[in-house]
Structure 1
Amino acid sequence: MRTSSTIRTRGTVKRATRISATLAAGALALSLTACGGGDDDGGGDKGGEAGGDKQPASSVTLPKLDGESLEVAAVWTGTEQENFKKVLAEFEKRTGAKVTFVPAQDPIINFLGSKIAGGAPPDVAMLPQPGAIKQAVEKGWAKPLGAEAAKELGENYSQGWQDIGKVDGKQYGVYYKAANKSLIWYNAQVFENAGAAEPGTWDELLTTAQTIYDSGVTPFSVGGADGWTLTDWFENVYLSQAGPEKYDQLAQHEIKWTDPSVKEALTTLAQIWGKKDFVAGGASGALQTEFPASVTQTFTGGDQPKAGMVFEGDFAQVNIGETDAKVGTDAKVFPFPAVGGTAPVVSGGDAAVILEDSEAAQALATWLASPDAAAIQAKLGGFLSPNKSIDSSVYPNEVQKKIAEALVAAGDDFRFDMSDQAPQAFGGTPGKGEWKTLQDFLKNPKDVAGAQAKLEADAAAAYGG
């Protein structure tokens, strides 16, 4: 996803993410093993029809806001934006307020800065980085949650998910949307034709990729035009290979990017990125492929798609839903394989943050912290909520249901996306910092030392030394 401020992420983020990922990895692997290879018992993955009409009984009290108007800014586009608008529409119905969605651009902090400078800030912004929340607080933009929103959050979220929305002990963010970013989706027909099996380790992944290649299909689709997908690749390899402690240290720039552990992870990545025939379109093709296309091209073309597998989070289901593939039958998924001793579990998310404090803005934050709101978007697919009060039956297919249940069952056992914890200039700006260096590394994966040196130079500048 994207990223953060010019100062290290706060201690609460560090504390929340310094918990072993072992339990979460085990829960995820068990869940996907139980459902990934079977039929989709949930009735498909498209639209609001799947998952039935079951929603939790209304548990949130909202004020009457007739005549009030609100603006909500987010970088979401396409289906994701349209589904979120349905959540906002229900808020309008319940309160009488009028809510306008404001499309934002990456990096959203820069977008918000322009809006605020122009005297027209949105009332609420969906921030996809913990550090971005901290930066918004430091700039005086963000406003703390009121008592009702904080109460709703406390009732429905684990402590870890609450903590990553805090700055200096005050609650500013509601992590409305989460992501499990340790998944590899695959074309089931391609695997069947090739006689390929779901891998559990990195070496098995390489063997599976070769099997797919030998069958006449390129193994991997990579959305390299979006630099954040490449940071996600790196983070999963690094977390599994170097371990949670090193991951936390690198996330806070307590060790340098020239550390031998980074060299090992980049060298491992090059085993896939460095094989031109393993990546659809080669490096040049991948660098021209945006994330949505990287997903759709894996599930179009029958049993001869452009690639057999695509790595990314549960939200890839939104894009799979734009094809004829059905999640659980045509499109299946397995956890990112273990590179070291334990399979990685990397999470991300988007937090609602109030910029213009008012009764209406506080009510919207309260609404977004409720299971009522999350259940609406959960039904529509391509969405995962850390809200533990959601009835998992609302998810539209068995795969998504099991991923959601594993996330909630894991509680605080996760690692938050490393680039989302970094300063924005390093981990979340298109064409700069980590995004750009990893794009360059995809183009020339032999230059491990050069990539490390550039990563460290950019990180040192962004973190302030």
Structure 2
Amino acid sequence: MLLPDRKARRRHLAVAATAGSVLLTISGCGFLSGEGGGGGTPDASDVDCAPFEQWSDVEEGTVDVYSSIRDEEAERMDRSWADFEACTGIDIKHEGSGEFEAQLPIRLEGGNAPDLALIPQPGLLERVVEDGHALPVADGVRANVEEGWGEDWRGYATFDGELYGSPYGANMKSMVWYSPTFFEENGYEVPETWDDMLALSDEIADSGTKPWCVGFESGDATGWPGTDWIENALLRTSGTDAYNDWISHDIPFDDPKVADAFELADGVVRNPDYVNGDFGGVDSIAVTSFQEAGLPLLDGGCGLYMMGSFYSAQFGEDVVVAEDGDVYGFVLPPLEAGAEVPVMGGGEFAVPFADRPEVVAVHEYLSTPEYANSRASEGAWVSANRNMDTSVIEDPAAQFAAEVLLAPDTVFHFDASDSMPSSVGTEAFWSGMVDWVTGTSTDDVLESIESSWP
């Protein structure tokens, strides 16, 4: 039975998400974010400036930061560096854009480069390096990155032996959201294998509820949530080596291993018995925004929604995100019990395009565990910096993501579409997923994406 207050809450959130979608688009690896400031900079007399002493001799100035981060996420980010601004006198001006991936290359070619950009795709990062726009990081940043991140993360921003960016946020995109309340009311259990998950889906479907909600719409980035399905599926069907070979094009996009991943995802995403919550049939996936798609979890409109750990920012303050709350998540299960559980995700890299002292100072600060602690304490965010203090994380979903991402035995796989050349990963692959979910055959989609490889 649907509780009236939960119905009303969902209606409120859905209206907010719909209104936000007019102004908001999200990148494939990015997450819900915002443009503009979040409450102003505190007075230095009210701040303990000892942590910022190393930058005390840097002259005041303005540093422009450009990213895909907007709305509430951007307000949290603005608050996270407010003490640094107050103590150093450096003014950080952040601009978030829903068209970041398309606009950054245009700005760079037009001589309108930001001082720093938070780039969510290694493929785009490689492009701006190859085009001669990005600068190698300063020595202090390099030292912080070597201290805070493993070889896997450093490698995504290293080209010809030079480091061109520092990891910023991180997110886990192998996560299935569900409602513990809904599960308890119906006697459902979190699945341990893929077959368990399909059996659970059948049970929910038999009860009269569509088990899955899915949304691929994301403005100019529409289609990226579909790539997450394929990437997670391929890791489970063929493993890490095939995944890396796929990214590097050592196996073609239309390889049988990739086709197997599409077939596994097809059993959920294009199954009319499973989707799409109360949004409609399979075709509705292409026009359902990923921001709005998971909200039916709150009133039993669907039972499961695969989306990154950052999705907790979509729920209102009255929604309890907890293992025994309104919503929570589990890691997308492996094919077999006891098998290694692949973890796929994304994040951003702070990349410099100027080397003025104030820019270097900001970049150095963003690469410290102290900054990671500050940003994480604002909520709905984690870092893969192994020296961050995870006790400052209050959001249970972020705590869960941090636990998985920072576990010593976790092998992190960066989002494949974000790691491929942009003409493939963030163009042909994104649009191909829209074609696929609206009825184009898997073979035709794979052939089309393969033909886009430069």
List runs of 5+ in structure 2 lacking aligned partners.
1-26, 30-47
The secondary structure found in structure 2 opposite 1:205 is helix
Distance in 2 between the 1:114 and 1:394 partners? 38
Query: Secondary structure at the residue paired with 1:298?
Result: helix
**1:291 is aligned to 2:290:** yes
Cα 1:88–1:335 shift into 2, 3 Å: same
Which of these residues, 219, 226, 231, is aligned with residue 230 of structure 1? Answer: 226
Amino acid at match of 1:151: A
Pairing 1:449–2:447 present: no
Q: 1:219 to 1:398 in 2, by over 3 A?
A: same
- Structure 1 residues 443 and 59: alpha-carbon distance in aligned structure 2, compared to 1, 3 A threshold: same
Q: Cα deviation per residue 1:311-331 (whole Å; 9 max; x = unaligned)?
A: 012111111346624333221
Matched, 1:186 2:184: no
Match of 1:21 in 2: none
CA distance in 2 between counterparts of 1:279 and 1:94 reads 52
1-side partners of 2:383 and 2:260: how far apart? 33
- Shift of residue 105, structure 1, vs aligned partner: 3.6
| Matched residue, 2:44 | none
TM superposition shift of 1:139? 1.4
Larger RCO (CA within 8 A; separation ≥ 6): 1
2:296 & 2:70 partners in 1: Cα distance? 19
Which amino acid is the alignment partner of residue 212 of structure 2? F
Give 1:357's aligned residue: 355
Picking from 231, 235, 238, the partner of 1:239 is: 235
- Tell whether the 8 Å contact from 2:76 to 2:378 is kept in structure 1 after alignment: yes
- TM-superposed CA distance for 1:353, in Å, is 0.3
Give the secondary structure class of the aligned counterpart of 1:297.
helix
- The reply on whether 1:307 has 2:302 as its aligned counterpart is yes
Per the alignment, in what secondary structure is the counterpart of residue 95 of structure 2? strand
Structure 2 counterpart of 1:93 = 86
Q: Does residue 1:345 correspond to 2:337, yes or no?
A: no
Distance 2:56 2:157 in 1: 24
**Superposition map of 1:362-377 within 5 A:** 362-377=360-375
Give the letter aligned to residue 267 of structure 2.
Q
Alpha carbons of 1:216 and 1:192: their partners in 2 closer, same or farther (altered >3 Å)? Answer: farther
Quote the Cα distance in structure 1 between the aligned partners of 2:107 and 2:358.
20
User: Structure 2 length as normaliser, TM-score?
Assistant: 0.82
Q: 1:403 offset after TM fit, Å?
A: 2.6
For residue 172 of structure 1, report the CA deviation from its aligned partner: 1.1
Equivalent position to 1:82, from 65, 75, 82: 75
Q: SS state of the match for residue 371, structure 2? A: helix
1:419 and 2:417 matched: yes
CA deviation string 1:127-149 (max 9, x = no partner): 00112222111111111111112
Note if 1:320 corresponds to 2:315: yes
**Separation in 1, partners of 2:215, 2:316:** 17
Question: Counterpart of 2:297 in 1: which secondary structure?
Answer: coil
> For 2:176, what is the secondary structure of its paired residue?
strand
User: CA 1:105–1:401 in 2, change beyond 3 Å: closer, same or farther?
Assistant: closer
Distance 2:263 2:137 in 1: 44
Give the whole-Å Cα distance in 2 for the aligned partners of 1:293 and 1:197: 25
The residue that corresponds to 1:164 in the other structure is 156
Q: How does 1:45-194 map to 2 (within 5 A)?
A: 58=51, 61-108=54-101, 110-194=102-186
Answer whether contact 1:60 1:372 (CA < 8 A) is retained: no
In structure 1, distance between residues paired with 2:227 and 2:51: 39
Structure 1 residues 220-272: Cα deviation after superposition (integer angstroms, max 9, x where no partner): 11121131111011100101111111111111111112211122111111111
SS at match of 1:330: coil
Aligned to 2:256: 260
Q: Distance in 1 between matches of 2:184 and 2:270?
A: 26
How many correspondences in the alignment? 399
Q: Residue type of the partner of 2:74? A: Q
Indicate if the aligned counterparts of 1:191 and 1:212 stay in contact, CA closer than 8 A. no
| Alpha-carbon shift at residue 124 of structure 1 (Å) | 0.3
The answer to which of 247-256 and 210-219 deviates more is 210-219
CA deviations on 1:150-207 (whole Å, 9 max, x unpaired) are 1222222223222222111111111111111111010122222322111111111111
| Farther off after superposition, 172-181 or 397-406 | 397-406
Mapped partners of 2:73, 2:347: distance in 1: 14
The one-letter code sitting in structure 1 at the alignment partner of 2:288 is T
Question: What is the TM-score with the length of structure 1 in the denominator?
Answer: 0.81
Q: Residue 117 and residue 161 in structure 1: after superposition, are their counterparts in 2 closer, same or farther (change >3 A)?
A: closer
1:284 Cα deviation (Å)?
Answer: 2.6
Where 1:324 maps in the other structure, the secondary structure is coil
SS of 1:409's partner is coil
Query: For residues 238 and 312 of structure 2, what CA distance do their matches in structure 1 show?
Result: 29
Question: Within 1, Cα distance between the matches of 2:378 and 2:360?
Answer: 25
Deviates more, 1:372-381 or 1:247-256: 372-381
Query: 1:411 deviation in Å?
Result: 6.8
Give, in angstroms, the shift of residue 66 of structure 1: 4.7
Cα distance between partner residues in 1 of 2:194 and 2:157: 33
CA shift for structure 1 position 406:
2.9
CA change 1:274–1:347 in 2 (3 A) is closer
Q: What is the alpha-carbon distance in structure 2 between the residues aligned to residue 239 and residue 417 of structure 1?
A: 11
Are the structure 2 counterparts of residues 63 and 136 from structure 1 closer, same or farther at C-alpha, using a change threshold of 3 Å? Answer: farther
Percent identity over the alignment is 28
Matched, 1:408 2:406: yes
Structure 1 position 199 matched with structure 2 position 191: yes
Task: Confirm or deny: 8 A CA contact 1:59 1:372 kept in the other structure.
Answer: no
* Deviations, residues 332-366 of structure 1 (Å, cap 9, x unaligned): 21111113643221121100000122111111111
The answer on whether the counterparts of 1:177 and 1:386 sit within 8 Å (CA) in structure 2 is yes
